[in-house]
Structure 1
């Protein structure tokens, strides 16, 4: 890539339009750079050195539209830090100009959606976003979104209540309203939320979340779920968590320490939650009954 193109991209924040690029290179040179990977087309007529991150893709869309793109749905959730669904496409509100959904872009008609600024750009408000995302999902993932929204500290239970009222009558809103009493900011992962919903749906006693167990020597271990009176703990174990030897050894030492204090630790994996929820609930219930 020639120095003039590099200088142009430096001046424009790494994003340039076709018209800007054609002031320092020919159309043929532009096409060659795109084929070779020296430039990436982010949106039609908008280019960058490499595919930018989420904020960069939104900034490129601003350039394409000639105005601010208002992030919504999973894109807004990602800006606030509670996108549990790993949203890949860019979701924005209809800007009122001719903008259509295409590969990697979803345009939403969301009249009345409140907007605020986050990460230096406009997005639908946190609670509105959480409720709107949740009502598109099944119950376990919806609870995970509500938990994550509260955990992010961008919204409160009261904010979520108000957003549910504001979206009254829309598809899926009743299921979200029914889940609100169970949403908990202490949940630290989507699978923890899904596991907790299994416990709720099967009528198990509500566990303490992120409970700290202290040993006489001063050591402290935290568990995902705990029934302290029964000295029962449950831990969600993911493949990612045990991806390294050090993590596995640390986890085993923690379990051993908890068990030495007379606690029973119940391991939970994804298949327990999603394929055998009744059996998972039964296992927990049996341990609680034995402790009683």
Structure 2
């Protein structure tokens, strides 16, 4: 096992964890996990050129089940955002992530969970699933969305789910503002006509980008949307975040009214998990 090409090139690390219906003993290089029979589609065949025989790897849905065993609900949900989003972490890229198609969706995860019987981690993932949204385009967007929408008992702000990176069509009469037929909003509450734009320090600097962001905001406001900007500095700062989310709640016709007496402690615990 130690000589496997994927281990030599650093794709896999020791011990390699594998699923088995029948037991054999684990060793220093191989950790065996006994499994009940799994639903169809639980494993994916991956062929890597130059690395010998193809491998079976766990599907995104089964991977989330296993992750739910090892981490908290907020972290499980954050991984769910990634799998249902349009990005993948990539430290070699300037912004720490790269674009890719979603690996799964909340609907596919729910369908898979309905087929599971007696698999550890399924219950924990079922608890996290209502808090997973699709469409996130970056890890920081996922963090902002979780802070805003998780319930008070989880340390979140209890605001109803928005659409993430939803398309807003621009009528022909308004296209002179941006020259585009549509825009995407980071967080969008279409019924309330409220949009939140996450302003990344890395992606939104320079005169040209600032002008483009202003044109986007003008176009959305011309369509009757109220646009609120959230910066990462605001998100990181406890007081600034609370000011931001209270203003957002007011625009949405609600209020941030936690019912738990230890809400600040729950907020700090959530922030340690997502921002730490």
Q: TM-score under structure 1 normalisation?
A: 0.55
Separation in structure 1 between the aligned mates of residue 253 and residue 236 of structure 2, nearest angstrom? 24
Q: Does 1:176 align with 2:125?
A: yes
Counterpart residue number, 1:252: 214
**Paired residue secondary structure (1:155):** coil
Unmatched tracts of structure 2, length 5 or more: 49-53, 86-100, 152-156, 255-276
Shift of 1:128: 0.9
Q: Tell which deviates more after alignment, 202-211 or 269-278.
A: 269-278
Equivalenced residues, count: 207
**Paired residue secondary structure (1:266):** strand
Larger CA Rg, structure 1 vs 2 = 1
Shift of 1:223: 0.7
Match among 67, 84, 89 for residue 150 of structure 1: 84
Counterpart residue number, 2:271: none
Separation in structure 1 between the aligned mates of residue 15 and residue 196 of structure 2, nearest angstrom? 37
Q: Which of the pair is proportionally richer in helix?
A: 1
CA deviation digits over 1:197-223, x for unaligned, max 9? 233223323323323332433432211
Q: Does 1:210 align with 2:165?
A: yes
Shift of 1:225: 1.4
**Paired residue secondary structure (2:227):** strand
**How big is the alpha-carbon RMSD for the aligned residues of Structure 1 and Structure 2?**
3.9
Shift of 1:254: 1.5
Q: Tell which deviates more after alignment, 118-127 or 108-117.
A: 108-117
Q: Any conservation in 2 of the 1:140–1:193 contact (CA below 8 Å)?
A: no
Separation in structure 1 between the aligned mates of residue 71 and residue 205 of structure 2, nearest angstrom? 29
Shift of 1:279: 3.8
Unmatched tracts of structure 1, length 5 or more: 1-42, 47-57, 64-68, 76-88, 102-106
Cα gap change, 1:206/1:125 in structure 2, threshold over 3 Å: closer, same or farther? closer
Structure scoring higher RCO (CA < 8 A, sep ≥ 6) equals 2
Q: Any conservation in 1 of the 2:113–2:126 contact (CA below 8 Å)?
A: no
